Amino acid sequence: MFPSDSHIPSLDWSAQELTDLPETLWRNTHLQKLNLGENHLIALSDGLGNLHNLTHLYIHNNRLTTLPDSIGNLSHLHTLDAGHNALIALPDTIGHLRELEFLYASDSQLTELPASLGDLQRLRFLNATDNHLTTLPETLGNLSALVELRLYNNRLAALPESLGNLPRLKELHLNHNALTTLPEAIGNLKSLTRLSLVNNQLTALPDSMGHLTALTALDLRNNRLSTLPNFTGLQNLRYLDLRANRLTTLPESLADLPNLERLDLRWLSLDPLPTWIPLLEHRGCIVYL
């Protein structure tokens, strides 16, 4: 199974029930793609850093608790999938991966992300869901190429103001955290099209939410909202879910959203029902009560 040819560009050792790896592997310096996913590995050798030409590394679904510092030597790495492990931390040297565009670190034991993450200027997709994150580094705002950020199923109680510095962010998934507020700077996310905040502890939303002019889907289910800001600026909004909040009234500005296709108001104590609901329905918007 272990090749002797040190010039092969791709190696797939996934799902082989491997518990360790031969030292000869780290001599394959021509490797560009290495798949070690779905094994029983508990550690990786520092020799990983010898694979200078690696562009894709898949180490998902193993039993890894750490990654070697030498991973920072993989200067051409484009994709790193380290999801579904038992990682307690990511090494600071991950910030040296200046070509990295896709980082998967979901379903582990992470309590924080390294500040060096902010050095990944090409990073487009970051998935750190299903961990134990309680805070995020301010350097997150340096990820100017980020398009999609997935952080659901963590323990986040707050978000850094620097989040508003992500000019290309289109999707932000923050379901199932412990957020009580959002930073005012969230209104600076002019490219954001999808924002999911299901199952948090939000009691209010910043007025700047009305500046998210590209937003098409906003999911606020299962929070503690008693009021809403003015959403008049959300001219592209098509889907709005307000289920299971503490709202007793709704702003009339919701009736002025020209592209709204679905409005979910179930499990709200609205008394009386807004008189403009029939107008929305006549326009073709589906309203769930």
Q: Write out pLDDT tens, residues 93-126.
A: 999 999 999 999 999 999 999 999 999 999 999 9
Give domain 1-132's CATH superfamily.
Answer: Ribonuclease Inhibitor (3.80.10.10)
Parallel, antiparallel or unpaired: strands 125-127 and 102-104: parallel
Contact 84, 61 (CB under 8 A): yes
Predicted confidence band at 7 (pLDDT cuts at 50, 70, 90)? confident
Q: What is the SS3 assignment for 29-86?
A: CCCCEEECCCCCCCCCCHHHHHCCCCCEEECCCCCCCCCCHHHHHCCCCCEEECCCCC
For residues 241-270, average pLDDT: 97
The rounded distance, in Å, linking the Cα atoms of 121 and 80 is 15
Tokens 């092969």 map to which residue? 8
The amino acid present at 249, given as its one-letter code, is T
Q: Is the pLDDT of residue 139 over 90?
A: yes
Q: Is the pLDDT of residue 5 over 60?
A: no
pLDDT digits (tens, 9 = 90+) for 155-166: 999 999 999 999
Predicted confidence band at 21 (pLDDT cuts at 50, 70, 90)? very high
The rounded distance, in Å, linking the Cα atoms of 237 and 147 is 19
Q: For the purposes of burial, counting CB atoms within 10 Å of the CB of 271, is it exposed (0-12), middle (13-18) or buried (19 or more)?
A: exposed
Residue-level length of the chain: 289
Joined together, the tokens standing for residue 105 give 């670190």
pLDDT at res. 8: 87
The rounded distance, in Å, linking the Cα atoms of 48 and 25 is 9
For residues 217-227, average pLDDT: 98
Tell me if the pTM is above 0.85.
Answer: yes
Q: Which H or E element spans position 279?
A: helix 277-282
pLDDT at res. 149: 98
Break the chain into its structural domains and give their ranges: 1-132
